[in-house]
Structure 1
Protein backbone atom coordinates (compact mmCIF):
# COMPACT_ATOMS: atom_id res chain seq x y z
CA UNK A 1 0.00 0.00 0.00
CA UNK A 2 1.37 3.38 -1.01
CA UNK A 3 1.94 5.92 1.70
CA UNK A 4 0.23 9.28 1.33
CA UNK A 5 2.97 11.64 0.05
CA UNK A 6 1.35 14.54 1.93
CA UNK A 7 1.88 12.79 5.27
CA UNK A 8 2.78 13.95 7.76
CA UNK A 9 0.83 17.10 6.90
CA UNK A 10 3.22 20.08 7.00
CA UNK A 11 1.92 22.48 9.65
CA UNK A 12 3.03 25.31 11.86
CA UNK A 13 3.06 24.46 15.57
CA UNK A 14 1.04 26.66 17.91
CA UNK A 15 2.60 27.26 21.32
CA UNK A 16 0.16 27.95 24.14
CA UNK A 17 1.35 29.62 27.32
CA UNK A 18 -1.45 28.31 29.49
CA UNK A 19 -2.66 27.58 33.00
CA UNK A 20 -4.02 31.13 33.38
CA UNK A 21 -6.49 29.56 34.02
CA UNK A 22 -7.03 25.90 33.18
CA UNK A 23 -10.55 26.91 32.09
CA UNK A 24 -9.15 29.17 29.38
CA UNK A 25 -6.37 26.76 28.43
CA UNK A 26 -8.70 23.83 27.80
CA UNK A 27 -10.97 26.13 25.78
CA UNK A 28 -8.07 27.28 23.60
CA UNK A 29 -6.91 23.71 23.00
CA UNK A 30 -10.34 22.37 22.06
CA UNK A 31 -11.32 25.38 19.95
CA UNK A 32 -8.04 25.50 18.04
CA UNK A 33 -8.45 21.85 17.12
CA UNK A 34 -12.13 22.23 16.22
CA UNK A 35 -11.54 25.28 14.04
CA UNK A 36 -8.51 23.79 12.30
CA UNK A 37 -10.51 20.64 11.63
CA UNK A 38 -13.10 22.81 9.89
CA UNK A 39 -10.31 24.15 7.69
CA UNK A 40 -8.61 20.82 6.92
CA UNK A 41 -11.48 18.33 7.16
CA UNK A 42 -11.18 14.61 7.80
CA UNK A 43 -9.22 13.71 10.90
CA UNK A 44 -6.83 16.67 10.75
CA UNK A 45 -6.58 19.33 13.42
CA UNK A 46 -3.72 21.25 15.01
CA UNK A 47 -0.15 20.68 16.09
CA UNK A 48 -0.03 22.30 19.52
CA UNK A 49 2.48 22.62 22.35
CA UNK A 50 1.23 23.68 25.79
CA UNK A 51 3.30 24.89 28.72
CA UNK A 52 0.84 25.22 31.57
CA UNK A 53 1.79 27.19 34.68
CA UNK A 54 0.59 26.94 38.27
CA UNK A 55 -2.27 29.42 38.59
CA UNK A 56 -1.54 29.80 42.29
CA UNK A 57 1.69 31.56 41.35
CA UNK A 58 -0.13 33.79 38.87
CA UNK A 59 -2.84 34.69 41.38
CA UNK A 60 -0.25 35.79 43.91
CA UNK A 61 1.76 37.79 41.38
CA UNK A 62 -1.33 39.63 40.13
CA UNK A 63 -3.03 40.28 43.47
CA UNK A 64 0.18 41.64 45.00
CA UNK A 65 1.50 43.46 41.94
CA UNK A 66 4.61 41.28 41.74
CA UNK A 67 5.22 41.94 38.06
CA UNK A 68 8.99 41.41 38.11
CA UNK A 69 8.50 38.00 39.69
CA UNK A 70 5.82 37.19 37.12
CA UNK A 71 8.15 38.25 34.32
CA UNK A 72 10.96 35.97 35.50
CA UNK A 73 8.55 33.06 36.01
CA UNK A 74 6.95 33.32 32.58
CA UNK A 75 10.19 34.09 30.73
CA UNK A 76 11.42 30.59 31.52
CA UNK A 77 8.10 29.08 30.38
CA UNK A 78 8.34 30.91 27.04
CA UNK A 79 11.83 29.47 26.59
CA UNK A 80 10.32 26.01 27.05
CA UNK A 81 7.70 26.71 24.39
CA UNK A 82 10.34 27.86 21.94
CA UNK A 83 12.50 24.84 22.75
CA UNK A 84 9.56 22.58 21.95
CA UNK A 85 9.37 24.00 18.43
CA UNK A 86 6.58 26.57 18.63
CA UNK A 87 6.19 28.57 15.42
CA UNK A 88 3.84 31.08 17.02
CA UNK A 89 3.04 31.76 20.66
CA UNK A 90 -0.25 32.65 22.33
CA UNK A 91 -0.68 33.71 25.95
CA UNK A 92 -4.16 32.71 27.08
CA UNK A 93 -4.41 35.50 29.65
CA UNK A 94 -5.19 39.14 28.90
CA UNK A 95 -3.77 40.09 32.28
CA UNK A 96 -0.41 38.42 31.81
CA UNK A 97 0.15 40.16 28.48
CA UNK A 98 1.43 42.94 30.74
CA UNK A 99 4.65 40.96 31.13
CA UNK A 100 4.50 38.47 28.25
CA UNK A 101 4.17 41.04 25.45
CA UNK A 102 7.39 42.89 26.42
CA UNK A 103 9.21 39.57 26.79
CA UNK A 104 8.15 38.51 23.31
CA UNK A 105 9.41 41.77 21.80
CA UNK A 106 12.93 40.57 22.60
CA UNK A 107 12.38 37.20 20.90
CA UNK A 108 12.14 36.18 17.26
CA UNK A 109 9.21 33.76 17.58
CA UNK A 110 5.99 35.32 16.25
CA UNK A 111 3.55 36.37 18.97
CA UNK A 112 -0.13 37.21 18.53
CA UNK A 113 -1.09 39.92 21.00
CA UNK A 114 -4.60 39.21 22.28
CA UNK A 115 -5.71 42.85 21.90
CA UNK A 116 -4.95 43.04 18.19
CA UNK A 117 -7.55 40.62 16.75
CA UNK A 118 -10.07 42.34 19.02
CA UNK A 119 -9.05 45.79 17.83
CA UNK A 120 -9.31 44.63 14.22
CA UNK A 121 -12.83 43.28 14.86
CA UNK A 122 -13.99 46.48 16.55
CA UNK A 123 -12.57 48.60 13.74
CA UNK A 124 -14.22 46.35 11.13
CA UNK A 125 -17.54 46.83 12.94
CA UNK A 126 -17.10 50.61 12.69
CA UNK A 127 -17.30 51.20 16.43
CA UNK A 128 -15.48 53.98 18.28
CA UNK A 129 -16.39 53.48 21.96
CA UNK A 130 -16.48 50.19 23.83
CA UNK A 131 -16.59 48.99 27.41
CA UNK A 132 -13.94 46.64 28.75
CA UNK A 133 -14.51 43.83 31.26
CA UNK A 134 -11.47 42.12 32.74
CA UNK A 135 -9.29 41.88 35.80
CA UNK A 136 -8.37 45.09 37.60
CA UNK A 137 -4.90 45.23 35.99
CA UNK A 138 -6.49 45.01 32.54
CA UNK A 139 -9.30 47.49 33.19
CA UNK A 140 -6.85 49.97 34.76
CA UNK A 141 -4.06 49.44 32.23
CA UNK A 142 -2.98 52.63 30.47
CA UNK A 143 -1.09 50.46 27.97
CA UNK A 144 -4.29 48.62 27.01
CA UNK A 145 -6.26 51.85 26.70
CA UNK A 146 -3.47 53.41 24.64
CA UNK A 147 -3.16 50.37 22.35
CA UNK A 148 -6.84 50.46 21.43
CA UNK A 149 -6.83 54.23 21.01
CA UNK A 150 -3.66 54.59 18.96
CA UNK A 151 -3.82 51.43 16.82
CA UNK A 152 -7.57 51.18 16.28
CA UNK A 153 -9.03 54.62 17.13
CA UNK A 154 -11.18 52.99 19.81
CA UNK A 155 -11.96 54.69 23.12
CA UNK A 156 -12.43 52.55 26.21
CA UNK A 157 -15.43 53.57 28.32
CA UNK A 158 -14.31 53.25 31.93
CA UNK A 159 -16.46 51.39 34.44
CA UNK A 160 -17.26 52.71 37.89
CA UNK A 161 -14.65 51.65 40.45
CA UNK A 162 -17.21 49.61 42.38
CA UNK A 163 -18.20 47.74 39.22
CA UNK A 164 -14.54 47.07 38.41
CA UNK A 165 -14.18 45.36 41.78
CA UNK A 166 -17.22 43.21 41.11
CA UNK A 167 -15.95 42.16 37.68
CA UNK A 168 -12.50 41.31 39.08
CA UNK A 169 -13.92 39.39 42.06
CA UNK A 170 -16.11 37.22 39.84
CA UNK A 171 -13.17 36.36 37.58
CA UNK A 172 -10.70 35.44 40.31
CA UNK A 173 -13.01 33.81 42.83
CA UNK A 174 -15.48 32.12 40.49
CA UNK A 175 -14.76 31.90 36.77
CA UNK A 176 -11.19 30.59 36.97
CA UNK A 177 -12.63 27.74 39.07
CA UNK A 178 -15.50 27.10 36.67
CA UNK A 179 -17.94 28.37 39.31
CA UNK A 180 -20.79 29.86 37.27
CA UNK A 181 -23.52 31.69 39.16
CA UNK A 182 -26.75 33.20 37.88
CA UNK A 183 -26.36 36.20 40.17
CA UNK A 184 -22.88 36.88 38.78
CA UNK A 185 -24.19 36.74 35.23
CA UNK A 186 -26.90 39.22 36.20
CA UNK A 187 -24.25 41.54 37.64
CA UNK A 188 -22.15 41.41 34.48
CA UNK A 189 -25.16 42.18 32.32
CA UNK A 190 -26.10 45.08 34.63
CA UNK A 191 -22.57 46.47 34.35
CA UNK A 192 -22.60 46.18 30.56
CA UNK A 193 -25.93 48.03 30.41
CA UNK A 194 -24.51 50.77 32.64
CA UNK A 195 -21.58 51.18 30.24
CA UNK A 196 -24.01 51.23 27.33
CA UNK A 197 -25.87 54.09 29.01
CA UNK A 198 -22.54 55.97 29.17
CA UNK A 199 -22.09 55.70 25.41
CA UNK A 200 -20.42 52.32 24.89
CA UNK A 201 -21.28 50.84 21.48
CA UNK A 202 -20.04 47.36 22.35
CA UNK A 203 -18.16 45.43 25.02
CA UNK A 204 -14.82 43.64 25.10
CA UNK A 205 -14.71 40.43 27.11
CA UNK A 206 -11.15 41.22 28.17
CA UNK A 207 -10.62 38.10 30.22
CA UNK A 208 -10.44 34.65 28.65
CA UNK A 209 -12.90 33.14 31.16
CA UNK A 210 -15.75 35.65 30.76
CA UNK A 211 -17.17 33.69 27.80
CA UNK A 212 -18.17 31.07 30.39
CA UNK A 213 -20.66 33.53 31.88
CA UNK A 214 -21.88 35.85 29.11
CA UNK A 215 -21.70 35.94 25.34
CA UNK A 216 -23.36 37.51 22.31
CA UNK A 217 -26.59 35.56 22.87
CA UNK A 218 -27.08 37.42 26.16
CA UNK A 219 -26.77 40.80 24.42
CA UNK A 220 -28.32 40.26 20.98
CA UNK A 221 -28.48 43.96 20.06
CA UNK A 222 -25.09 44.93 21.50
CA UNK A 223 -21.79 43.85 19.89
CA UNK A 224 -19.72 41.53 22.10
CA UNK A 225 -16.01 41.04 21.36
CA UNK A 226 -14.70 37.88 22.99
CA UNK A 227 -10.92 38.20 23.16
CA UNK A 228 -10.44 34.45 23.56
CA UNK A 229 -12.46 33.55 20.46
CA UNK A 230 -10.88 36.27 18.33
CA UNK A 231 -7.40 35.28 19.52
CA UNK A 232 -8.06 31.66 18.54
CA UNK A 233 -9.29 32.75 15.10
CA UNK A 234 -6.08 34.75 14.61
CA UNK A 235 -3.96 31.69 15.45
CA UNK A 236 -5.90 29.57 12.95
CA UNK A 237 -5.36 32.26 10.31
CA UNK A 238 -1.62 32.24 11.09
CA UNK A 239 -1.40 28.48 10.59
CA UNK A 240 -3.32 28.71 7.32
CA UNK A 241 -1.21 31.50 5.86
CA UNK A 242 2.23 30.46 7.13
CA UNK A 243 2.99 27.10 5.56
CA UNK A 244 5.49 24.81 7.24
Structure 2
Protein backbone atom coordinates (compact mmCIF):
# COMPACT_ATOMS: atom_id res chain seq x y z
CA UNK A 1 0.00 0.00 0.00
CA UNK A 2 1.36 3.40 -0.95
CA UNK A 3 2.41 5.80 1.79
CA UNK A 4 0.23 8.63 0.48
CA UNK A 5 0.92 10.89 3.45
CA UNK A 6 4.57 11.32 2.52
CA UNK A 7 5.81 14.37 0.65
CA UNK A 8 7.91 13.29 -2.34
CA UNK A 9 10.76 12.87 -2.45
CA UNK A 10 10.67 11.67 1.14
CA UNK A 11 13.13 13.62 3.29
CA UNK A 12 15.54 11.15 4.90
CA UNK A 13 18.89 11.01 6.63
CA UNK A 14 21.55 9.26 4.56
CA UNK A 15 23.29 6.33 6.27
CA UNK A 16 26.97 6.00 5.35
CA UNK A 17 28.39 2.48 5.56
CA UNK A 18 32.13 1.82 5.62
CA UNK A 19 32.02 -1.72 4.29
CA UNK A 20 33.95 -4.53 2.67
CA UNK A 21 35.14 -5.90 6.02
CA UNK A 22 33.88 -8.32 4.88
CA UNK A 23 31.57 -8.18 1.89
CA UNK A 24 29.39 -10.77 3.67
CA UNK A 25 28.79 -8.45 6.62
CA UNK A 26 28.30 -5.47 4.31
CA UNK A 27 25.58 -7.23 2.34
CA UNK A 28 23.82 -8.15 5.58
CA UNK A 29 23.98 -4.55 6.83
CA UNK A 30 22.36 -3.33 3.61
CA UNK A 31 19.63 -5.97 3.76
CA UNK A 32 18.90 -5.54 7.46
CA UNK A 33 18.89 -1.74 7.35
CA UNK A 34 16.39 -1.67 4.52
CA UNK A 35 14.17 -4.26 6.20
CA UNK A 36 14.23 -2.32 9.48
CA UNK A 37 13.47 1.00 7.81
CA UNK A 38 10.70 -0.47 5.69
CA UNK A 39 9.07 -1.77 8.86
CA UNK A 40 8.84 1.85 10.03
CA UNK A 41 8.09 3.63 6.76
CA UNK A 42 5.83 1.01 5.23
CA UNK A 43 4.78 0.65 1.59
CA UNK A 44 7.78 0.68 -0.78
CA UNK A 45 9.95 3.01 1.30
CA UNK A 46 13.30 1.93 2.72
CA UNK A 47 16.63 3.62 3.34
CA UNK A 48 18.92 6.06 1.60
CA UNK A 49 22.31 4.41 2.03
CA UNK A 50 25.80 5.20 0.75
CA UNK A 51 28.33 2.37 0.87
CA UNK A 52 32.08 2.67 0.39
CA UNK A 53 33.35 -0.90 0.23
CA UNK A 54 37.06 -1.49 0.73
CA UNK A 55 39.24 -4.37 -0.46
CA UNK A 56 39.19 -6.92 2.36
CA UNK A 57 42.58 -8.21 1.19
CA UNK A 58 44.10 -4.92 2.31
CA UNK A 59 42.36 -5.14 5.68
CA UNK A 60 43.49 -8.74 6.23
CA UNK A 61 47.08 -7.73 5.37
CA UNK A 62 47.11 -4.81 7.82
CA UNK A 63 45.43 -6.72 10.67
CA UNK A 64 47.67 -9.80 10.41
CA UNK A 65 50.79 -7.61 10.53
CA UNK A 66 49.55 -5.13 13.16
CA UNK A 67 49.93 -2.30 10.65
CA UNK A 68 47.34 -0.07 12.27
CA UNK A 69 48.79 3.23 11.06
CA UNK A 70 48.60 1.98 7.49
CA UNK A 71 45.04 0.77 8.07
CA UNK A 72 44.08 4.15 9.50
CA UNK A 73 45.43 6.03 6.51
CA UNK A 74 43.69 3.64 4.12
CA UNK A 75 40.31 3.94 5.84
CA UNK A 76 40.51 7.70 6.43
CA UNK A 77 40.45 8.25 2.67
CA UNK A 78 37.39 5.99 2.37
CA UNK A 79 35.62 7.95 5.09
CA UNK A 80 36.39 11.12 3.12
CA UNK A 81 34.44 9.57 0.26
CA UNK A 82 31.46 8.81 2.48
CA UNK A 83 31.38 12.38 3.72
CA UNK A 84 31.63 13.79 0.20
CA UNK A 85 28.72 11.54 -0.76
CA UNK A 86 26.56 13.26 1.85
CA UNK A 87 26.39 10.73 4.68
CA UNK A 88 24.50 12.12 7.68
CA UNK A 89 25.81 9.33 9.92
CA UNK A 90 28.58 6.77 9.51
CA UNK A 91 28.86 3.18 10.67
CA UNK A 92 31.76 0.76 10.21
CA UNK A 93 30.74 -2.86 9.62
CA UNK A 94 33.82 -4.31 11.35
CA UNK A 95 34.32 -4.62 15.11
CA UNK A 96 38.06 -5.04 14.55
CA UNK A 97 38.51 -1.90 12.47
CA UNK A 98 36.83 0.32 15.04
CA UNK A 99 40.32 0.40 16.52
CA UNK A 100 41.29 2.89 13.80
CA UNK A 101 37.91 4.18 12.61
CA UNK A 102 36.81 5.49 16.03
CA UNK A 103 39.87 7.76 16.39
CA UNK A 104 39.40 9.00 12.82
CA UNK A 105 35.76 9.89 13.49
CA UNK A 106 36.61 11.55 16.82
CA UNK A 107 38.20 14.36 14.82
CA UNK A 108 35.25 14.83 12.46
CA UNK A 109 31.82 16.42 12.71
CA UNK A 110 29.81 13.69 10.96
CA UNK A 111 27.98 11.62 13.61
CA UNK A 112 29.49 8.18 14.15
CA UNK A 113 27.74 5.25 15.81
CA UNK A 114 30.27 3.05 17.58
CA UNK A 115 29.39 -0.64 17.46
CA UNK A 116 30.49 -1.10 21.09
CA UNK A 117 28.07 1.61 22.24
CA UNK A 118 25.06 0.05 20.55
CA UNK A 119 26.08 -3.28 22.10
CA UNK A 120 27.06 -1.97 25.54
CA UNK A 121 23.76 -0.15 26.02
CA UNK A 122 21.77 -3.35 25.52
CA UNK A 123 24.07 -5.41 27.76
CA UNK A 124 23.82 -2.81 30.50
CA UNK A 125 20.04 -2.69 30.17
CA UNK A 126 19.98 -6.48 30.59
CA UNK A 127 21.78 -6.07 33.94
CA UNK A 128 24.82 -8.03 32.80
CA UNK A 129 28.22 -6.97 34.11
CA UNK A 130 30.47 -9.82 32.93
CA UNK A 131 30.35 -10.94 29.33
CA UNK A 132 32.33 -13.25 27.07
CA UNK A 133 33.66 -12.07 23.74
CA UNK A 134 34.08 -13.86 20.42
CA UNK A 135 35.81 -12.10 17.53
CA UNK A 136 39.09 -11.78 15.73
CA UNK A 137 42.22 -12.07 17.84
CA UNK A 138 42.69 -8.32 17.47
CA UNK A 139 39.22 -7.74 18.92
CA UNK A 140 39.45 -10.35 21.68
CA UNK A 141 42.79 -8.91 22.81
CA UNK A 142 41.76 -5.26 22.43
CA UNK A 143 42.54 -3.18 25.51
CA UNK A 144 40.64 -0.29 23.89
CA UNK A 145 37.44 -2.33 23.66
CA UNK A 146 37.75 -3.59 27.23
CA UNK A 147 38.26 -0.05 28.51
CA UNK A 148 35.40 1.27 26.38
CA UNK A 149 32.88 -1.22 27.76
CA UNK A 150 34.16 -0.97 31.34
CA UNK A 151 34.30 2.82 31.54
CA UNK A 152 31.05 3.56 29.72
CA UNK A 153 28.86 0.65 30.75
CA UNK A 154 30.51 -1.07 33.73
CA UNK A 155 30.96 -4.29 31.76
CA UNK A 156 33.87 -6.67 32.29
CA UNK A 157 34.96 -8.60 29.20
CA UNK A 158 36.17 -12.20 29.31
CA UNK A 159 38.17 -13.51 26.35
CA UNK A 160 38.64 -17.19 25.47
CA UNK A 161 41.92 -18.98 26.17
CA UNK A 162 44.80 -18.31 23.78
CA UNK A 163 44.20 -21.64 22.04
CA UNK A 164 40.49 -20.95 21.64
CA UNK A 165 41.18 -17.44 20.35
CA UNK A 166 43.19 -18.97 17.51
CA UNK A 167 40.30 -21.29 16.67
CA UNK A 168 37.73 -18.49 16.67
CA UNK A 169 39.97 -16.21 14.60
CA UNK A 170 40.80 -18.90 12.04
CA UNK A 171 37.14 -19.69 11.44
CA UNK A 172 36.38 -16.01 10.84
CA UNK A 173 39.18 -15.42 8.34
CA UNK A 174 39.15 -18.78 6.59
CA UNK A 175 35.42 -19.49 6.56
CA UNK A 176 32.91 -16.87 7.68
CA UNK A 177 34.17 -14.02 5.50
CA UNK A 178 33.57 -16.40 2.57
CA UNK A 179 30.17 -17.49 3.96
CA UNK A 180 31.57 -20.98 4.36
CA UNK A 181 29.36 -22.23 7.18
CA UNK A 182 30.42 -25.56 8.68
CA UNK A 183 28.74 -27.67 11.33
CA UNK A 184 32.11 -28.50 12.90
CA UNK A 185 32.96 -24.81 13.25
CA UNK A 186 29.57 -24.09 14.80
CA UNK A 187 30.25 -26.80 17.35
CA UNK A 188 33.62 -25.21 18.15
CA UNK A 189 32.05 -21.79 18.70
CA UNK A 190 29.42 -23.27 20.98
CA UNK A 191 32.14 -25.09 22.91
CA UNK A 192 34.09 -21.84 23.37
CA UNK A 193 30.94 -20.01 24.47
CA UNK A 194 30.26 -22.76 27.01
CA UNK A 195 33.82 -22.42 28.34
CA UNK A 196 33.31 -18.67 28.80
CA UNK A 197 30.06 -19.35 30.63
CA UNK A 198 31.85 -21.78 32.92
CA UNK A 199 34.35 -19.03 33.74
CA UNK A 200 31.57 -16.74 34.91
CA UNK A 201 30.38 -14.95 31.77
CA UNK A 202 26.70 -14.01 32.03
CA UNK A 203 26.34 -13.74 28.27
CA UNK A 204 28.42 -13.59 25.10
CA UNK A 205 29.11 -10.88 22.54
CA UNK A 206 29.28 -11.97 18.90
CA UNK A 207 32.06 -9.45 18.37
CA UNK A 208 32.59 -10.04 14.68
CA UNK A 209 29.90 -9.04 12.21
CA UNK A 210 29.90 -12.43 10.47
CA UNK A 211 29.54 -14.65 13.54
CA UNK A 212 25.75 -14.37 13.60
CA UNK A 213 25.76 -16.29 10.31
CA UNK A 214 27.00 -19.31 12.28
CA UNK A 215 25.49 -19.11 15.77
CA UNK A 216 22.72 -17.20 17.50
CA UNK A 217 20.51 -17.04 20.56
CA UNK A 218 18.60 -20.20 19.59
CA UNK A 219 21.86 -22.16 19.87
CA UNK A 220 22.51 -21.00 23.44
CA UNK A 221 19.22 -21.14 25.36
CA UNK A 222 19.39 -19.45 28.72
CA UNK A 223 22.66 -17.70 27.89
CA UNK A 224 22.17 -14.17 26.48
CA UNK A 225 23.74 -13.63 23.07
CA UNK A 226 24.54 -10.09 21.93
CA UNK A 227 24.76 -9.89 18.15
CA UNK A 228 26.77 -6.77 17.33
CA UNK A 229 25.56 -6.79 13.73
CA UNK A 230 21.87 -6.61 14.59
CA UNK A 231 22.41 -4.16 17.44
CA UNK A 232 24.52 -1.84 15.28
CA UNK A 233 22.00 -1.96 12.44
CA UNK A 234 19.25 -1.09 14.91
CA UNK A 235 21.16 1.93 16.19
CA UNK A 236 21.91 3.19 12.67
CA UNK A 237 18.27 2.78 11.65
CA UNK A 238 17.09 4.59 14.78
CA UNK A 239 19.39 7.49 13.98
CA UNK A 240 18.06 7.68 10.43
CA UNK A 241 14.48 7.70 11.72
CA UNK A 242 15.09 10.26 14.45
TM-score of Structure 1 vs Structure 2, range by shorter chain = over 0.9
Superposition map of 1:1-244 within 5 A = 6-241=7-242
Matched residues in 1 for 2:69 and 2:7: separation? Answer: 46
Matched residues in 2 for 1:224 and 1:88: separation? Answer: 27
Q: How many positions carry a matched residue from both structures? A: 239
Matched residues in 2 for 1:5 and 1:24: separation? Answer: 32
* Partner secondary structure for residue 49 of structure 1: strand
Root-mean-square deviation (CA, aligned residues, Å) is: 1.0
Report Cα offsets for 1:63-112 as digits up to 9, x if no partner.
01111110110000000000000000000000000000000001100000
Alpha-carbon offset, residue 240 of structure 1: 1.3
How high is the TM-score relative to the length of structure 2? 0.97
Matched residues in 1 for 2:105 and 2:151: separation? Answer: 20
Alpha-carbon offset, residue 139 of structure 1: 0.4
Matched residues in 1 for 2:28 and 2:39: separation? Answer: 16
**Please, which runs of 5 or more residues in structure 2 have no aligned partner?**
none
Do the aligned residues in 1 keep the contact of 2:91 with 2:114 (CA within 8 Å)? yes
Alpha-carbon offset, residue 20 of structure 1: 0.3
Do the aligned residues in 1 keep the contact of 2:134 with 2:140 (CA within 8 Å)? yes
How high is the TM-score relative to the length of structure 1? 0.96
Question: Structure 1: which 4+ aligned runs deviate by more than 3 Å?
Answer: none
Do the aligned residues in 1 keep the contact of 2:134 with 2:159 (CA within 8 Å)? no
Matched residues in 2 for 1:52 and 1:91: separation? Answer: 10
Alpha-carbon offset, residue 220 of structure 1: 1.7
Alpha-carbon offset, residue 5 of structure 1: 6.8
**Please, which runs of 5 or more residues in structure 1 have no aligned partner?**
none
